Structure 1
Amino acid sequence: MSVRIVSTGSFLGSNVVDNKKLFSKIHNFDKERALETLKKKGNDVQNLADDELFDLWVKQVCGVSQRVFFSEDQIEDKKGPTQLTEYMGYMAAKDALSYKNIDPKTIQHVIFCSYTPIQLMPNPACLCAHYLGIENASAFHMNTACSSFLDGMGIAYMMIKSGEYDRILVISADTMSINIDFNDITTAILFGDGACAAVLERNTEKKGIYSYYSTTNYNNEMLNMDYGKPIRMSGGPLVQRNAVNAMSHSLEKACEKAKISPDQIDYLIPHQANLRIVHRLADKLNIPYERTLQSVAYTGNVSGASIGIGLDHALKGKIETLKIPKGSLLGLTTVGGGYTYSGMVCKV
């Protein structure tokens, strides 16, 4: 008996915030330092307006061109939750269920992954299960920061493998736009809002999830977030090195458990922290960029949901530069505050 990902879904709001639009919210842009950085990289910065300079600098620093911010005025489905994070998760779950015509009543368990839920009790998984029409299912909320969605799928995988469950819905959503300090430019340029979902089920075929690996390495200094306060990140270059090493380690361990080598992976699906990290990871694993997910350019870092949004878009042909054919072997890997890091090998 194996477990497969039978359907995926995602949700992004309508308020697309490109770098020039974001510039109006930033209060401490160091223009001189940006000019120096861009000139060193050979960019022509003459006659650029401040917002154009900011746009070019952000693209160079983290590879993000735009992100989406979600707000209450964008809530269109009045039959769903009214809380921002929970609503996005609900919409992504609706997308996953409808894509393969899955009856909500066949879902036996719901996992909602987030570190920015608006409501703590009832937990977001219970809330979404109610609005989705999922009956008599168990449900819980979990948080491993940006690793949450992959860890949620890993837990669902193990629950189904135990023989106790046949079909589980995993949802991941985060509203970062209300948890950003726009005076902290290191985080303000990175994050966006969004949600993803996946339905996992028992499978008699060979294809499916081959392995899952997860571990932690405690560090509260470089990346942290307290209740009611914005996310904080310090030591950027070291955080990036740690992220690359952690994701490389996780995928290598997942491959080891699957009894394959990383070079057998058809497509690399990493957490979309920033484009530099994605490229450095691909280089370290010797996987070409054209076989690597790079959706961070248009979504920003959507925390736990970033890997699921990108995967959903790639599987459905929404990314022109990355279309994943059926039967492909994927290497998923992620890292989050904690540090938490995880890897998974699966066929789709």
Structure 2
Amino acid sequence: MDGFPVTLTEAVCLGASFGFSGLFYYLYKKSWITANKLQNAPHFTIDEKLKDLLKVTPETCLQYAVIEGHVKPVDEHLSSQFKKEIVGVLQKITLKEHRLVWSGFSHIWMDDERILHQRVNTLPFALAGTDRTVVRVLSPLEAAGKYTEVTYEKFNQASFGLGDLLGQYVSGVKPKGHLEIEEMLKVDTILTGVGELKLNTDGTLSLRPPSDGSQYFLSIADFDTLQREHDSMAAWWKALAVASALAGAAVLLWVGLRYYDRWRVQAKKEQDRKEFARLRAEAERQHANEAGPRAVLDGSYRENICLICLSEPRDCVLLDCGHVCCCYLCFQSLPQPKCPICRQDIVKVLPVYHP
């Protein structure tokens, strides 16, 4: 049998499907661990009872806890660059360029954007509870989650002359304009924090990134929304992992079925060859006393020579058409099971003996 019947396309699809399934499974496990930790994280109200609880907790620390409170600046606050009445504790200003880029592969203009400039300003802040108790929020820029609101957004359309238009077609880049965005974490926003909660030696409370590597969260959404988002993300990665694995299994099954079909055809050919050899041997034994030496190239032998190879005698009859035109080796070499004379389908082959 020839080599294993896997084409280059099938090999690439098989490797890609299993590679993606492994990647998606890794992302699913990571998301599932995060969602499971969120589900099991204890919830606490910011008040004096929280301090009392941490005092009796080992190392005065809770590895993973959920709190919710109003954002308050520790000292002073930030004012919006565009709307002075808006104040906050964290400000992010981003300048993006929107443009069209010519794709040499698809031969179309495609939308693209890139960040030209980004500036982040932050001031110390805390989460205030029902009483005067506050929890200082540390390293907010390391937190995942949506914890800012867009306070200003403006798109400035690009303008250019004829020379610029010609340059755009040469360079393959058409600027559309610039988008300026300001995002802020405003004072008095209700913020959900998930991380390591610690009572410091000076009696203050702080929320910081977990020391065990768990995901640190700050979000303006409530905890239930945050939990649902990560449950959905884990389910999505799981579905992609299963779909990729099934695609790889389908390609593998397709290759296996084709391999089995090729093996079955080859096995049938081998079985027919052995049956033909057996029938031929029986015919030769029956005519052993009458047969002349084949090596004598008399007129009868030349008339019975194979029409394909022109070297071996015609030793088989093709059914159902009944033509005797080739040797058995040439019959096995036919690209399709059709008679070389009349092109009818060959149903069966029997040996024929010429005395």
Structure-1-length-normalised TM-score: 0.22
**Larger relative contact order, structure 1 or 2 (CA cutoff 8 Å, min sep 6):** 1
Q: Hey, which of these two has a bigger chunk of strand by percent? A: 2
* Structure of larger gyration radius: 2
Structure-2-length-normalised TM-score: 0.21
